[in-house]
A and B are shown apart, each in its own frame.
Chain A
Amino acid sequence: MIAWAIDLVLALAASGAFSAAPPPPTGEVIVPVRVVASSVAAPEGLDTFEAEHLVDGDPTTAWQPTQGGALGLGQWVRVELDRDYLITRIEVLNGWQKQDGPDDRFCTHGSIMSLDSSGDRGSGFYLDSDRQNRLLTMTPGTLFNKHPAVTRTLTFVVRGVVPGMVAHDSVALSEIRIWGRPADPASVPPASRCLDPMRDEFAEALLEACAKNTQVRPNAECSWFRVLLRACSPDTDKWKYPFPDAAQLATGNVDYRLESQDPDSPIYSATFTRGAGGRWSASNVRCELGKQHRPCGPWFDIPSYREDRDKEMVELEVCKRADGTWMKRELPGPR
């Protein structure tokens, strides 16, 4: 772990990631007990992309989900800890931070523009980004992360991407590193509805439906799923959106529909069925707009809102390599 830390510091220093040096993390480094991902991309030569690479201490290895033609949007990874922790810091090494001969994989491959992060009580974590977008950090007690983060799992969902300059459709993450302290049981929030195992299973079904249905970009129908995953934040403990109650879940068949009073917001519906082994699956996933029931457009939330601005993807014309030089886009990949 020490070697990993040294490598990390050296790599980040070389990348200029600490140009605005973040405060040193407090607490201990937490070693996850398990990492689960929505999908894993096929190997590239000798390089493999299992989710375990996210916590192996080696920034030159990476997790790459199956892109599915969707640039990795909607793909997710969940890090499980051995107990509840008070999280003091999260660092995510973005992209594939491997220097491969003349190629900087961070530039040639895709990286994250926006990563939805949440704990197991529905709380959201907000990741800041350094200038080059190589290091994403979450520090509690800051403007966006005001509340203590107590959790045993951390779920990260890809919400926006920076396509690679050569391998266009290849979003990756190199490392996830977590600091914290074992949570005092007395300080752990009481079990909420979100911690009900049945709802956990359903929440996972939402995630899987999100990843599965984001198959053809542009398509971001899982935006409402992601909102739902945070619907029981301890910050408010308010349910603004209906979550199936225990009786509904017990039937094993839930027709799920989200409709807003805002005519410009999507109407989202799906049928969830619990199969053998208690796993839920989604079918009839639909996203419609307005009273005319037009299919959802390509955009993340309100289709007609600033259509000129792609909210899920930003393409870079230049990318700063770890050695400080710049790579210019020469071979734009297929859109």
Chain B
Amino acid sequence: MSGPAPQLKETPAASTTKGPTPGGPGPAAGGGAAAALKKSVHGMSYEDGAKVMSTGLIEGMLKGAISKTATSAPAPTPGHHGRPRGNVDVQAAYRETREWTMEQMTNATDGDTLRATTSLEAEWFALSRDFNAWDTAGRPAVWNGKPKVPKDPGPKLEYISRGFFKEYWMLHCLQFADKLSKNLPGRKYNTLQTLIGQTNKALEHGEDVGLVKGRTTVHRGKTFAQIAVDEASNPRLAPGTSIHVKLHFNGDKPYEYADDFHHWIVWAGNGLFTDSLTGAEKAGAAMDATLQGWVHKSFGGAKFQQFHGDTTFSQSATGPGAAKPIAGLQPRVSAEYDPRVNPNQQGDGG
């Protein structure tokens, strides 16, 4: 089994492959980062992304139009860089990954199962507590001064099963991408984690990181909407390729900065993307909106203080507190990783 559960074997990239993911704790995350952490976790929800879309109407419409164009574009054709192309059903791999994940729900030896179920159980109790308090007050139409009243979370185990998938992968978007990649048909020469390890190793030894087979930077600096458009006219990514995004997207070292809005998203082809939090087949513009929403909600937290005094990212050069991101700030593509590229094959590595 190759899930994200704590395992005792070493991986080539052990020091970096569990770096912070959306909502994930960085090595230095301490008590003061709690609020930021919560925001960052919640900031990755689809609803938040949708909210940002509605506030940035023009931009959203533009992205939607771009995405629509990309969605109707033909599938990538075979034959570039010797990579497998077309006929790779990322959706099926996603379904398989989802089924595998739900199987873990009763695997009590899996540390991530324990974390996820415990967290959801506590969440259920907290919701039940609020619901009961509202219930005992006679179910008033206004509660705590707001028209929003507590919602009945329903039976406990049902609640846990509903939220399990998202909770299980919450801290492990990289592992999700890796798992999805392993479930794709065809030969895999590497794992995603190995490719990251090779990248780190090349950088440590001062080697040309561009020679790492399977790693490319053809879309570096782009948004997902842009990738969708570019791939429609000039397909260069094989469906199933994992895309790493962060704010310091020019850095070759994947986890150069631990707290850097890292996320991993899988290119599904036909202008669509898949990730651990928002599910399968999401258009590029929608994925961008989600990432923007995450940054928008979490940027001011102590976890991301490295950005607060930097006007490249922040609206002001002042420190934390009311730090706000510059308009449209979002993690962008740093590199693409395709474990199905034959490392022994001649040709450019990107």
Q: A182 within 8 Å of B by Cβ?
A: no
Q: What is the bound-complex CA distance between A96 and B107, given in angstroms?
A: 31
Stretch at the interface among A35-43, A122-130, A274-282: A122-130
* A318 and B136 contact, Cβ closer than 8 Å, known pairs A263-B18, A306-B38: yes
In the complex, whether B108 has a CB less than 8 A from a CB of chain A is yes
* Chain B, 1-45, CB within 8 A of any chain A CB: 1, 4-11, 14-15, 18, 24-25, 27, 29-31, 33-35, 37-38, 41
Q: Is the CB of B157 within 8 A of A131?
A: no
Shortest CB-to-CB span from A283 to chain B, Å, is 23
Whether B156 and A311, one on each chain, are in contact in the complex, defined by CB atoms closer than 8 angstroms, is no
With A128-B156, A261-B7, A316-B132 known to touch, is A146 a contact of B25 (CB < 8 Å)?
A: no
B171 contact from A231, A258, A303, A305, Cβ within 8 A:
A305
Flag A235-274 by CB within 8 Å of B: 1 or 0 each.
1101011100000000000000011111111000000000
A114 nearest in chain B by CB position: B121
B29 touches A304 (CB 8 A): yes
Smallest beta-carbon distance B181→chain A, Å:
18
Query: Quick one: given A240-B7, A261-B6, A318-B136, are A227 and B34 in contact (CB under 8 Å)?
Result: no
Nearest A-chain residue to B131, judged by Cβ: A131
- Indicate with 1 or 0, residue by residue over B243-276, a CB within 8 angstroms of chain A CB atoms: 0000000000000000000000000000000000
Q: Is the CB of B38 within 8 A of A308?
A: yes
Residue of A263, A265, A311 touching B122 (CB-CB under 8 A): A311
Residue of A nearest to B120 (CB): A311
Pairwise interchain contact B6-A233, C-beta atoms closer than 8 A: no
For B109, list chain A residues within 8 Å (CB): 227, 230-231, 233, 236, 238, 240-241
Main secondary structure of the interface of B (DSSP, over half): helix
A48 at the interface (CB under 8 A from B): no
Interchain CB contact under 8 A, A143 and B118:
no
CA distance A316 to B9 in the complex (A): 42
Say whether A316 contacts B118, CB under 8 Å. Answer: no
Is A124 a contact partner of B108 (Cβ separation < 8 A)? yes
A267 CB to closest chain B CB (Å) equals 10
Give the residues in chain A near B143, CB-CB below 8 Å.
none
A309 in the interface (beta carbon within 8 A): yes
Whether A128 lies near B157 (C-beta < 8 A) is yes
B interface, size bucket:
35 or more
Is the C-beta of A6 less than 8 angstroms from some C-beta in chain B? no
Q: In the complex the two chains form, is B106's CB within 8 Å of A124's CB?
A: yes
Query: Do A265 and B6 touch across chains, with their CB atoms under 8 A apart?
Result: yes
CB neighbours of B34 from chain A (8 A):
304, 306-308
Evaluate contact between B7 and A113: CB separation under 8 angstroms. no
Q: Is B129 an interface residue when CB atoms closer than 8 A count as contact?
A: yes
B118 and A311 contact, CB distance less than 8 A: yes
Query: Quick check: B108 and A318 within 8 Å, CB to CB?
Result: no
Task: Answer yes or no: A326 CB below 8 A from chain B CBs.
Answer: yes
19 chain-A/chain-B pairs, Cβ below 8 angstroms: A114-B118, A118-B108, A128-B157, A144-B160, A162-B125, A240-B7, A240-B109, A242-B8, A262-B6, A264-B24, A304-B25, A304-B29, A304-B30, A304-B37, A308-B35, A314-B122, A314-B126, A318-B133, A326-B136
The 9 lowest CB-CB distance pairs between A and B, nearest first, are A260-B6, A304-B25, A307-B34, A124-B108, A326-B136, A304-B29, A314-B125, A230-B108, A311-B122
